[in-house]
């Protein structure tokens, strides 16, 4: 892995691709010293494939025993299909056990994963803040679909005021839609907020998860409800203010 290291010079930064935010706007590089172990790490797809080959057993390495030990101890997570090993996530989908890990820094995403039984692995790198895990998982398990492809459409930020408010799903769950510096956000009870991206005709989508939000509007343009779709799940909420 000759091209994997901590960046220590401006010359190394010159070799780095430009990172882009969720709106595909370029982001300035401003590494944080406290995150040098992650934000400062540089690698290439070829180097990461070499790393995967060693973990899979395709390439002999004196670290083989240690790599195998990293997968022996596993702990449960909030997701029934996923466990956590040492430095890896282990997920079983459609009878396929895959070992994977992802990462994100400002303007960049990475996914590495492999299926031990098939001795197959994949590396996905992106210089964008948009999610890419679905690409890697789909390559390892073709039965897991790719995310829906959405196109962000232009909108006057002033229109966001029509959607701002609280939407009641039931007595225990409320969805809050808020506006912040020209962006629209959605947040469910007990969940982090996520940005909404306009697609057209009162329809928005999320990028942190594969989900869509369609607002139900009256003739005056104000909303009286919304519909949230994620996969085969559909949630309806009524405006309460």
pLDDT tens sequence across 116-133 = 999 999 999 999 988 899
The answer, yes or no, to whether residue 231 has pLDDT greater than 90, is no
Q: Which residues contact 83 (CB under 8 A, 6 or more apart)?
A: 74, 75, 76, 77, 89, 90, 91
CA pair distance 237, 35, nearest whole angstrom: 40
- CATH number listed for the domain at residues 157-239: 2.40.128.50
The answer, yes or no, to whether residue 33 has pLDDT greater than 80, is no
DSSP for 156-223?
Answer: -GGGGGGT-EEEEEETTEEEEEEEETTEEEEEETTS--EEEEEEETTEEE-SSSSEEEEEEE-TTS-E
Q: What ranges do the domains of the chain cover?
A: 5-140, 157-239
User: pLDDT tens, 63-108?
Assistant: 999 999 999 999 999 888 999 999 999 999 999 999 999 988 888 9
**CA-closest candidate to residue 178, choices 163, 192, 190:** 163
The answer, yes or no, to whether residue 162 has pLDDT greater than 80, is yes
Given the candidates 3.40.50.720, 3.40.710.10, 3.20.20.70, 3.40.640.10, the CATH classification of the domain at 5-140 is 3.40.710.10
| pLDDT number for residue 16 | 79
CA pair distance 60, 64, nearest whole angstrom: 7
| pLDDT number for residue 110 | 94
The arithmetic mean of pLDDT across residues 158-181, rounded, is 93
Q: Say if residues 26 and 18 touch (Cβ distance below 8 Å).
A: yes
Structure-model confidence comparison of residues 154 and 22, the more confident one = 154
The arithmetic mean of pLDDT across residues 184-210, rounded, is 93
């Amino acid at each position: 892995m000759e091209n994997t290291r901590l960046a220590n010079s401006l010359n190394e930064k010159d070799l780095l691709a430009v990172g882009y935010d969720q709106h595909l706007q370029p982001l300035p590089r401003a590494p944080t010293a406290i995150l040098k172990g992650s934000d400062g790490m540089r690698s290439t797809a070829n180097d990461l494939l070499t790393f995967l080959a060693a973990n899979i057993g395709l390439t002999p390495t004196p670290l083989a025993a240690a790599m195998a030990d990293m997968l022996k101890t596993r702990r449960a997570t909030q997701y029934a299909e996923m466990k956590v090993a040492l430095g890896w996530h282990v997920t079983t989908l459609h009878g396929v056990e895959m070992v994977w890990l992802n990462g994100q820094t400002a303007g960049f995403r990475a996914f590495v994963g492999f299926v031990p039984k098939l001795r197959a692995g994949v590396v996905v790198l992106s210089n964008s803040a948009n999610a890419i895990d679905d690409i890697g998982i789909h390559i390892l398990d073709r039965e897991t679909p790719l995310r829906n492809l959405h196109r962000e459409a232009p909108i006057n930020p002033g229109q966001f005021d029509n959607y701002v408010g609280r939407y009641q799903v039931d007595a225990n769950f409320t969805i809050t839609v808020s506006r912040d510096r020209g962006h629209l956000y959605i947040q469910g009870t007990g969940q982090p907020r996520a940005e909404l991206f306009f697609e057209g005709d009162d329809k928005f989508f999320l990028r942190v998860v594969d989900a869509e939000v369609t607002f139900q509007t009256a003739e005056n343009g104000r909303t009286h409800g919304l519909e949230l779709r994620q996969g085969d799940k559909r949630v309806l909420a009524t405006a309460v203010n």
